[in-house]
Amino acid sequence: MLSILFSNQLEVMYPEIFLGLVAFGMLLLGRSVRNPAVYTYITMAALFIGLLLLLMFDMGTETLYGGAYLVNNFGLYFAVIMIISSLYVTYSAGATLKSNPESFFSLFLLVNVAMIIAAFSMNLIFIFIAFEGVSIGTYIMSAYGKSRRNLEAAAKYFFTGIIATGFILLGSSYYYLSTGTFNLESVSISKGPMLVALILLFVGFGFKLALVPLHQWAVDAYDGTSNPVSAFLSSGTKILAFLIILRVFIVGFQNFQGDVFDLFVIVSIITMTYGNLAALSEKNIKRMFAYSSIAQAGYLILVVAATSAAEATTFVFTVAIFTAMYYSLVYIFMKGGAFLSVSAVRKESVDIDDMSGIGVVSPAFAISLTILMLSLAGIPPTAGFFAKYYLFLALISSNLWWLAVIGILNSAISVFYYLRVIVVMFRKDGIQRDFDTSARVLAPLVLAAIISLVLSLFIFAYPQVSSLVTGLGVSI
């Protein structure tokens, strides 16, 4: 009986089991303890232990459940990133919470359980279930808080999310119909149903990554929810959606690379351009960040375009997947920090102009946000630049100069709206002085800024990290 606890099958699940147990324990505790700080610290401790458990039990390579669950260092890397992104927002989330902290945080931990499972899944059903776990948790999290705006945002997120779920299920069925398996592997079969599956799955997962034209929910949801939740939605869950897109479309559709390429190129061009142009004219800072994260999603999926290009070599593949790994890591801090910074303004709906004068009140805040904006715009010596550097290197190496030019023109446009925030922050006249620059707001921001600078040293790790890319599950 006990031996099953120590079998391979279960050992890799220890982090998930641990986090799940803590989550249920917290629900029980909720009957007696009402102080949000307690739950914040429990959650942080649990996530930290979960991280350690991940590193202890999920190192190495193992294939379980008939190929459905692939434990390796590539998946581990993303699982760790997602846990870190959760850890990053936990403290701020606890500080803004007003009621029922126990259910919020237990949901939060359950979302993390689902994210870890999704990071290792190589099977469409596994992915679907884990993904739903994340989605349902985040629906409730975004509805937290009782204002009308919260509820409106959550309702929009929920209804569009449900539709996406339907698409994923239908797409998975078509995938099964044509391949006879839910596992993501190399299959050679007729084209027809597979293309239907491609489109349906793309629509379903594209919803979550907020690709144009499936993006509108993201703008409203990020705008309406509390800042820590939007930070989490736009970092952790977005990276998860990105990882799943990598898995499904690079591994699952490896014999349809031409179609994948066409689809991703078109959508990424539209997404980048639309996101950037919409952000240019946006006055509300959270909506502006939302559009910018749509544009960033456009850059992210260029990775898929590079790997599925006709002239993609092993080198291109390695650099592209390395980009995906690096960009994801940088992204959670850039975007998470940007969304959390909005808390400095004590208002429901914050315009960019409301930031004016914060450079006078708190130089540390202004400098940190400046670094984040430069990193988002992809300007050296920040980590955001090196992430883009590898991305464009992959594109150029696979002979996609035109795509690189479009991407780079987009990144030049984006500079404009990122820098506008900087300029406004350092305004000297006609400014207000009522900002919340307590440690609660400042600490995560400064941390993100420091990390965005330090991560530029990640280029040192290229040899080690690039050796993980085979773990994606495709032989190159």
Residue among 423 and 454 whose Cβ is closer to other proteins: 423
Q: Which stretch binds other proteins (CB under 8 A): 66-74, 182-190, 255-263, 370-378?
A: 370-378
Ranges within 230-289 binding other proteins (CB under 8 A): none
Min CB(269)–other proteins separation in Å: 16
Residue among 56 and 405 whose Cβ is closer to other proteins: 405
Residue among 14 and 462 whose Cβ is closer to other proteins: 462
Min CB(475)–other proteins separation in Å: 21
Min CB(465)–other proteins separation in Å: 11
Q: Residue from 270, 408, 447, 476 that binds other proteins (CB under 8 A)?
A: 408
Ranges within 17-76 binding other proteins (CB under 8 A): none
Total residues at interface with other proteins (CB under 8 A) = 36
Q: Do 113 and 47 meet the contact criterion of CB atoms below 8 Å apart?
A: no
Min CB(276)–other proteins separation in Å: 12
90 contacts: CB under 8 Å, gap ≥ 6: 40, 43, 44, 47, 108
Min CB(316)–other proteins separation in Å: 9
Residue among 184 and 371 whose Cβ is closer to other proteins: 371
Residue among 51 and 453 whose Cβ is closer to other proteins: 453
Residue among 83 and 306 whose Cβ is closer to other proteins: 306
**Residue among 395, 377, 410, 399 at smallest CA distance from 269:** 410
Instruction: Work out the angle at residue 79's Cα, subtended by the Cα atoms of residues 27 and 260, and round it to the nearest 5 degrees.
Output: 125
Residue among 299 and 385 whose Cβ is closer to other proteins: 385
Q: Residue from 115, 295, 404, 469 that binds other proteins (CB under 8 A)?
A: 404
Structure tokens at 248: 């499904």
Q: Is 476 among the residues that bind other proteins (CB under 8 A)?
A: no
Ranges within 149-178 binding other proteins (CB under 8 A): none
Q: Which stretch binds other proteins (CB under 8 A): 61-69, 117-125, 134-142, 400-408?
A: 400-408
96 contacts: CB under 8 Å, gap ≥ 6: 226, 227, 228, 343
Min CB(182)–other proteins separation in Å: 37
Alpha-carbon distances, residue 64 vs 12, 37, 69, 76, 254 (angstroms): 9, 39, 5, 15, 22
Judged by DSSP in three states, 438 sits in coil
Q: Which helix (H) or strand (E) holds 63?
A: strand 62-64
- CB neighbourhood size of 260 (10 A): 23
CA dihedral 52, 55, 56, 58 (to 10 degrees): 130
Residue among 17 and 419 whose Cβ is closer to other proteins: 419
How far apart, in whole angstroms, are the C-alpha atoms of residue 432 and residue 447? Answer: 25
Q: Residue from 45, 364, 409, 439 that binds other proteins (CB under 8 A)?
A: 409
Ranges within 287-346 binding other proteins (CB under 8 A): 313, 315
DSSP string computed for 226-253: -HHHHHHHHHHHHHHHHHHHHIIIIIIT
First to last CA, the chain: 42
Residue among 65 and 416 whose Cβ is closer to other proteins: 416
Q: Do 329 and 458 meet the contact criterion of CB atoms below 8 Å apart?
A: yes
Residue among 228 and 384 whose Cβ is closer to other proteins: 384
**Ordered alpha helix ranges (H), 426-471:** 439-454, 462-466
Min CB(242)–other proteins separation in Å: 23
Q: Residue from 56, 266, 381, 438 that binds other proteins (CB under 8 A)?
A: 381
* Cα-trace Rg, the chain: 21
Ranges within 86-115 binding other proteins (CB under 8 A): none
Q: Residue from 49, 199, 396, 431 that binds other proteins (CB under 8 A)?
A: 396
Instruction: Work out the angle at residue 77's Cα, subtended by the Cα atoms of residues 74 and 81, and round it to the nearest 5 degrees.
Output: 145
Q: Do 233 and 142 meet the contact criterion of CB atoms below 8 Å apart?
A: yes
Ranges within 412-471 binding other proteins (CB under 8 A): 412, 415-416, 419-420, 422-424, 426-427, 459-460, 462-463
How far apart, in whole angstroms, are the C-alpha atoms of residue 322 and residue 221? Answer: 30
**Residue among 279, 282, 275, 316 at smallest CA distance from 298:** 275
Residue among 56 and 409 whose Cβ is closer to other proteins: 409
Residue among 239 and 338 whose Cβ is closer to other proteins: 338
Judged by DSSP in three states, 71 sits in strand
Q: Which stretch binds other proteins (CB under 8 A): 15-23, 49-57, 335-343, 407-415?
A: 407-415
Q: Which stretches of the chain bind other proteins, using CB under 8 A?
A: 313, 315, 359, 363, 370, 374, 377, 379-381, 385, 389, 392-393, 396-397, 401, 404-405, 408-409, 411-412, 415-416, 419-420, 422-424, 426-427, 459-460, 462-463
